[in-house]
Amino acid sequence: MTTSPAALRLLVQCPDRPGIVAAVSRFLFEHGANIVQADQYSTAFEGNGAGRFFLRVEFETAGLDLPADTLAARFAAEVGTPFAMEWRLSGDHRPRVAMMASRTDHCLLELLWRWRRDELAVDIPLVISNHEALRADVEAFGIPYHALPVTNATKAQQEAAIRTLLRDAEVDLVVLARYMQVLSADFVAEYPARIINIHHSFLPAFAGADPYGRAFERGVKIIGATAHYATHELDEGPIIEQDVVRVTHRDARDDLVRLGREVERSVLARAVQWHIEDRVFVHGNKTVVFR
């Protein structure tokens, strides 16, 4: 599943109709692209009438007969437009990812660790928090840390400052690694399907606040975590990944919090990994994930 360094990814979605794969693969072949992995899916098979087609192709560029930008222009003219595709080429630059967290360290440190171990092939230009608590940890990784405290009165202003930081850093993705402030609809709209949040329950169960406390009260035998794209509706965005862990009557609320931490960090790490490898497509309020 490793991407070779001199590889690009072609990411397509369009109305399903015959000939898409033939057109794409012929185009790539004729220009010397060597396909190393391809995944496709069409919602036509869900039986809801006209389908939507999704395609992810990873190809080596060593034998290309054109530079990437010319290839892209030709693809647009010969394949993309005729098939009414939304498409893009990816892989020519390392994604720039901002992390945001509040006081809880486990999700953030999990990601930084993986990043330092070269499991997460991104640049992390900054970490933003509404607290000072995590500064030393973050700076130990050599990453700039911005603490922007927030009160009800300063919320709009603090968010504006965050958005300026993100714009200046030219980030491709924002990861909410247990950032406990609700983002405004405007903020979310600026990064469509580019803000990943971790919710500490297996949504749609226990949407909202204190999921572990409510899971304890309800007496569930399984708890979980959900990584999803942030949308203007809280906890309602497209789900990327979920996982669960068993609990018993012996586990008090604090035990659920502790056990949940492990699920939260692995679920969030997988979602971020898949996103930056361009494995996640959004379709309505759902995701197609090519693993």
Are 110 and 268 a contacting pair, CB within 8 Å? yes
Is residue 127 a contact partner of residue 98, using CB atoms and an 8 Å limit?
Answer: yes
- Judge contact between 176 and 157, C-beta under 8 A: no
- Answer yes or no whether residue 195 interacts with its own copies by CB under 8 A: no
Residue from 239, 268, 272, 276 in contact with its own copies (CB under 8 A): 239
Percent helix / strand / coil, the chain, rounded to 5:
35, 30, 40
Of residues 116-135, those binding its own copies (CB under 8 A): 117, 119
Shortest CB 219 distance to its own copies, Å? 3
Question: Do 98 and 109 form a contact (C-beta atoms < 8 A)?
Answer: no
Q: Is 191 in the site for its own copies (CB under 8 A)?
A: no
Q: Does position 78 bind its own copies by CB under 8 A?
A: no
> Comparing C-alpha atoms, which of 156, 127, 162 is closest to residue 142?
127
Looking at the Cβ atoms of 241 and 278, the one nearer to its own copies is 241
Q: Which residue has the tokens 């640049």?
A: 123
CA distances from 109 to 124, 153, 209 (A): 13, 30, 23
Question: Of 187 and 281, which has the nearer Cβ to its own copies?
Answer: 281
235 in active site: yes
- Subset of 87-106 contacting its own copies (CB under 8 A): 105-106
Binding site for its own copies (CB under 8 A): 1-2, 4, 18-19, 21-22, 25-26, 28-30, 32-42, 44-47, 63, 105-106, 109, 113, 117, 119, 140, 202-206, 218-222, 224, 238-244, 248-255, 258, 262, 266, 285-289, 291
